[in-house]
Each structure stands twice: as C-alpha cells, then as structure tokens.
Amino acid sequence: MKIIDKIALCLIIIGAINWGLIGLFKFDLVATLFGEMSLLSRIVYSLVGISGLWGIKLLFDNNN
C-alpha cells in the first residue's frame, strides 16, 4: 500500500469517526478542535472529502 493510500485511509477514518460523533452525540470534533468553519477546519473537511474520492480507487485496486 502506497503512502498516499495510507494517508487517505487515515483521513477517511477520521471523517467516519467525526460523522459518527455527529450522528450519535451531535458533537463535531473537527469544529471543536479547529473552530466552526475556520480556514483550518475547512482544510480538514476538504482533505477528508478528497480522501473519500481517493478511497473509491482503493476499492478497485488489484494490488491489495
């Protein structure tokens, strides 16, 4: 597994945990850590979204 795949997977997991916290407890961890829609939180949200798109590639990768 390439390093970019591992980074993407970590960001996907962070996003999934954050969505689980939002769904279960109405608690947005990213907003709590970095501020409500601050530049840093928007960067984190964007990276998680891009990683989700990258994760689609991982589904069809035959090297794993």
For the chain, give every domain's residue range: 3-59
Question: Using N-to-C axis directions, what is the helix angle for 3-25 and 39-59, rounded to 10°?
Answer: 120
What is this structure's pTM?
Answer: 0.85
Per-residue pLDDT reduced to its tens digit, 16-64: 999 999 999 999 999 999 999 999 999 999 999 999 999 999 888 877 5
Can you give the pLDDT at residue 46? 96
| Closest listed residue to residue 7, CA positions, set 58, 59, 41 | 58
According to the model, what pLDDT value does residue 11 have?
Answer: 96
Distance CA 36, CA 2 (A): 33
